[in-house]
Amino acid sequence: MIINDIRNVTDVTDVTDVTDPTDPTETPLKRIREEAEGGLCFDAKTGRISHIEEKEMPACKTEAENNPRVLYYAARRWSNHPFSEGCSSAPNRIYFEVTNQCNLYCKTCYRNAGSALPKEMDTEGAKNLIKKLAAIGVHELRLTGGEPTVRADILELIDCAAHCGLYITMGTNGIWSKAMTNALTERPIGRFLVSLDGPGLVNDNIRGAGSFAMTMRTMKTLIDKNRNVRVNMLLTRSALKHLDEFAEICVNSGVLHLSMIVPRPAGRAASEALSSEIPTPSDMEDAALSIVPIKKRYGLSIEFQYNIYGDHVSGQGSDPVVQKILSCPAGREAAFISPEGLLYACGCTPDWAGNPSRKNTFVAGNVTDMSAYDLWRTWQTSATWGVFRALHKSKDKSCFACRYYGAGCFGSCPIHAYIEENKFNGSDPMCWVGKNN
């Protein structure tokens, strides 16, 4: 199926009602999208993405013309201008924060989640947005929050995304009712990113009493049903002391992937109450050093921004991103959409550092009332993204001289540098290597 021209499409149903998700013989096999040069192919079964050479594109198009399960986004027809540089032609992944509500109140929450925001999208608005994202060739829809499963219509949104042929993933705390567990395990969700911040009480001290046991119960169900699970752990100083124990728990539970996430000073993670838990650069080095023996001992695949001592994966191994070798995906391959419809590059920006007004620096627009085409043009042309797309503006100069840049580390975090030094290409406060360069 060819998605030819979205410029004049007012009802995106024409180009997004592409599959019956309950019939495995109908669901998309791959999604191909034209880039400035060649294309990107998203494998709907594995969730992996790969480059297509320019010379192979005509054959891909012919395949899509003959096979409705191959979706081909003829994006070069959508504009008379060359594509913007430093980004994919459309986001490969959108993190859709479907609600700010949460059934936990974690000390590490970057978005200060708790109760619903005043202007969260209603069901129709959220479904329309999902259809527009599918129409512009977004490959992966990451449902997140807050906690996405507390949104009353979450199953309807998942079903809508599945009908559009999107690859669906979900970031969740795993605190689910039995009915929700049953409903979610029946749905075509490609990967669950389950948050746990360490073993037992280490987790509960951050995420609330009893949460470890409840999340582990959900995870066991998912793994028993052969669902793809990655554990996301925010690296506090307490968690760092228990890395080995936590890795053993993960492996014994059947988890194959662990992502150790660096805390950024946003939302409650920026609060005074958490300051003693924020790792120092030397703690980060300890974490990087510990990955090698843990992997050897347990066979667990660990993703970590400064994974510079082990066998290197470019960027993060389980992520369908392409350019992460030299940069984080923010504004280059991925973006966030808030519950009210704000499009911004990275989740660590809104309401961060206790100063909500500064988030506007990062917002490209409110996409709720945009047509699919305007949404796509916003991704392509918004001045907001420029700082993420030009490496000299987003990377510390010591990264360019660092032997680990592009070989285990994708370089400094522009948001964190901006918060600390008021410049995106300032040095990464968590990096111990750059300071010694």
For ligand SF4, the binding residue among 94, 162, 255, 413 (CB under 6 A) is: 413
Rule CB under 6 A: say whether 192 interacts with ligand SF4: no
Per-position x/- string for 352-391, each x denoting binding to ligand SF4 as judged by CB under 6 A, each - no binding: ----------------------------------------
Residue closer to ligand SF4, measured from CB, 219 or 266: 266
Partner residues linked to 302 by β-bridges: 258
Q: What angle do CA 388, 392, 395 make, to 5 degrees?
A: 70
Residue closer to ligand SF4, measured from CB, 373 or 404: 404
Q: Is 19 left (phi over 0), alpha (psi -120 to 50) or beta?
A: beta
Q: How many helices (H) and strands (E) does the chain have?
A: 15, 15
Distance CA 51, CA 37 (A): 10
Minimal CA–CA distance to 174: which of 125, 136, 212? 212
Question: How many CB atoms sit inside 10 A of residue 155's CB?
Answer: 15
Alpha-carbon separation of residue 398 from 263, 393, 432, 433 (angstroms)? 21, 13, 11, 9
Place of tokens 């627009």: 365
Distance CA 416, CA 362 (A): 13
Q: Which stretch binds ligand SF4 (CB under 6 A): 61-69, 181-189, 229-237, 413-421?
A: 413-421
Rounded-to-5 percentages of helix, strand, coil across the chain: 40, 15, 45
Query: Can you tell me whether residue 65 is helix, strand or coil?
Result: helix
Residue, CB closest to ligand SF4: 328
- Rounded to a whole number of angstroms, the minimum distance from the CB of residue 64 to ligand SF4 is 32
Residue closer to ligand SF4, measured from CB, 28 or 263: 263
Rule CB under 6 A: say whether 404 interacts with ligand SF4: yes
Residue closer to ligand SF4, measured from CB, 79 or 314: 314
Rule CB under 6 A: say whether 399 interacts with ligand SF4: yes
Rule CB under 6 A: say whether 264 interacts with ligand SF4: yes
For ligand SF4, the binding residue among 35, 402, 425, 429 (CB under 6 A) is: 402
Place of tokens 């690296």: 235
Q: Is 38 left (phi over 0), alpha (psi -120 to 50) or beta?
A: left
Q: Which stretch binds ligand SF4 (CB under 6 A): 74-82, 237-245, 356-364, 410-418?
A: 410-418
Q: What angle do CA 210, 212, 218 make, to 5 degrees?
A: 110
Residue closer to ligand SF4, measured from CB, 41 or 348: 348
Rule CB under 6 A: say whether 348 interacts with ligand SF4: yes
- Rounded to a whole number of angstroms, the minimum distance from the CB of residue 4 to ligand SF4 is 33
Q: Which stretch binds ligand SF4 (CB under 6 A): 125-133, 135-143, 222-230, 400-408?
A: 400-408
Q: Is 409 left (phi over 0), alpha (psi -120 to 50) or beta?
A: beta
Rule CB under 6 A: say whether 70 interacts with ligand SF4: no
State how beta strands 93-97 and 334-337 pair.
parallel
93: phi then psi, degrees, rounded to nearest 5: -140, 135
Q: Which stretch binds ligand SF4 (CB under 6 A): 64-72, 116-124, 129-137, 404-412?
A: 404-412
Residue closer to ligand SF4, measured from CB, 167 or 404: 404
Q: Which stretch binds ligand SF4 (CB under 6 A): 140-148, 214-222, 269-277, 426-434?
A: 426-434
Per-position x/- string for 289-308, each x denoting binding to ligand SF4 as judged by CB under 6 A, each - no binding: -----------------x-x
Contact 410, 327 (CB under 8 A): yes
Minimal CA–CA distance to 286: which of 246, 317, 245, 243? 243
- Cα dihedral across residues 278, 424, 393, 94: positive or negative: positive
Rule CB under 6 A: say whether 270 interacts with ligand SF4: no
Q: Which stretch binds ligand SF4 (CB under 6 A): 116-124, 125-133, 295-303, 409-417?
A: 409-417
For ligand SF4, the binding residue among 398, 419, 426, 429 (CB under 6 A) is: 398
For ligand SF4, the binding residue among 321, 367, 409, 419 (CB under 6 A) is: 409
146 membership: H or E segment, kind and range? none
- Rounded to a whole number of angstroms, the minimum distance from the CB of residue 137 to ligand SF4 is 21
And the tokens for 321?
Answer: 């991103």
Q: What angle do CA 51, 363, 406 make, to 5 degrees?
A: 35
- Contacts (CB under 6 A) with ligand SF4, residues 312-341: 328, 330
Binding site for ligand SF4 (CB under 6 A): 264, 306, 308, 328, 330, 346, 348, 396, 398-399, 402, 404-405, 409, 411-416, 428, 431, 433-434
